[in-house]
Amino acid sequence: MSKSNNVYKDAFNRCLRLLDETQSLPSEPELGTLLGVSRTTVRSILSRMEETGLIAWNKRNKTVLRAPRPEDFFPEEETDSLAEIIERSFMRRLLAGGAEAGMQINELELAREIGVGTTSVREFLIRFSRFGLIEKRRNSHWVLKGFTRAFALELTEIREMFELRSAAAFAALPHDSAVWADLDRLEVEHRQLASDIATRFNEFSELDERFHRLIHRASHNRFIVDFYDVIAMIFHYHYQWNKAEERQRNEVAIQEHLAYIAALKSRDPAKVDTACRKHLKSARQTLLSSIPEGRQAQPAGTLSATFVRA
């Protein structure tokens, strides 16, 4: 089957949305930059749009003929990259229960169950290993370390160390730094979300990530910045997993963020430290409360073969 053309399909869908806004599309290189793909892919997209009567295409002229209809779009599930598919599938198994620490992970079985090649699974596992949830035995299988309380505590320990340092660095940034404008914009977004919390509370997790990434970036340290990938990944699945009291949790977090932002703007190290610690403490609490120690295993019969008892 070689390679799926999800890059093309995803870019095509995104390009369709552009059609609503304009009468004619920009040049090929410009479209490429806009969509984040090469000109080769742009031309494939344009070809199909011409074929399906969406545009008239003649050299530099790309006139929009009609608005896109739902059936013009490629199905959502065909636009995901293999890596995303594998990650989702793997995380579902990991969080579904029955995945206890010490179990073996079978590459071949995982590949079969997801319906992909072993190479993709191997590469995924290698990439995934930096999250500290799995470990490789030399010349042999992977071992699951488990999404345990210990894991959450180790993760938050580093997070707190890194964020306190980043926040201090942030507050020390010169007045003319561009980050202050970024922070102002994020503050506005926080206030907007706070006032619409009843309907939009599920938009918080995305805002949360952008806010913390901005702060971590102030460290100017690639290891700190990169570590946020681990946190983001865990929180992403954690948010999906634990919907209990989501609205209230997010409401509290927004207020903590606003206090945190105010402290940063004061540029007073002590205030920053206090606000940061307070928020990190409740973030840790939230994460820990979602990990019931001694999670019950599923009946053996329904247990997927991906994770195998050692």
Footprint of a copy of itself on this chain (CB under 8 A)?
A: 7, 36-37, 119, 122-123, 126-127, 130, 132, 138-139, 145, 151, 154-155, 157-158, 161, 165, 220-224, 226-227, 230
285/294 Cα distance (integer angstroms): 18
Closer of 149 and 265 to a copy of itself (Cβ): 149
Binding mask 237-266 toward DNA (x if CB under 7 A, else -) reads ------------------------------
305 φ, ψ (degrees, to nearest 5): -80, 0
Closer of 22 and 118 to a copy of itself (Cβ): 118
Binder to DNA among 1, 178, 244, 300 (CB under 7 A)?
Answer: 1
Closer of 50 and 182 to DNA (Cβ): 50
Using alpha carbons, select from 287, 297, 211, 284 the residue that is nearest to residue 254.
Answer: 211
Determine the size of the site formed for DNA (CB under 7 A).
45
Is 105 a binder of DNA (CB under 7 A)? yes
Is 108 a binder of DNA (CB under 7 A)? yes
Query: ∠ CA 167-129-234 to the nearest 5 degrees?
Result: 45
Span of 25-33, 192-200, 213-221, 275-283 interacting with DNA by CB under 7 A: 25-33
233/152 Cα distance (integer angstroms): 12
In whole angstroms, how close is the CB of 305 to DNA at the nearest point?
8
Amino acid at 33: T
Binder to DNA among 3, 21, 174, 270 (CB under 7 A)?
Answer: 3
Residues 38-97 touching DNA, rule: CB under 7 A, are 38-41, 43-44, 59-60, 62, 81-83
Closer of 62 and 238 to DNA (Cβ): 62
In whole angstroms, how close is the CB of 139 to a copy of itself at the nearest point?
6
Amino acid at 28: E
In whole angstroms, how close is the CB of 230 to a copy of itself at the nearest point?
8
Closer of 114 and 287 to DNA (Cβ): 114
Span of 3-11, 152-160, 189-197, 296-304 interacting with DNA by CB under 7 A: 3-11
Residues 129-148 touching DNA, rule: CB under 7 A, are 137-142
Span of 30-38, 127-135, 191-199, 205-213 interacting with DNA by CB under 7 A: 30-38
Is 215 a binder of DNA (CB under 7 A)? no
Question: According to the 3-state scheme, what is the secondary structure of the chain?
Answer: CCCCCHHHHHHHHHHHHHHCCCCECCCHHHHHHHHCCCHHHHHHHHHHHHHCCCEEEECCEEEECCCCCHHHCCCHHHCCCHHHHHHHHHHHHHHCCCCCCCCEECHHHHHHHHCCCHHHHHHHHHHHHHHCCEEECCCCCEEECCCCHHHHHHHHHHHHHHHHHHHHHHHCCCCCCCHHHHHHHHHHHHHHHHHCHHHHHHHHHHHHHHHHHHHHHCCCCHHHHHHHHHHHHHHHHHHHHCCCCHHHHHHHHHHHHHHHHHHHHHCCHHHHHHHHHHHHHHHHHHHHHCCCCCCCCCCHHHCCCCEECC
Residues that bind DNA (CB under 7 A): 1-9, 27-30, 37-41, 43-44, 59-60, 62, 81-83, 105-109, 116-120, 122-123, 137-142, 308
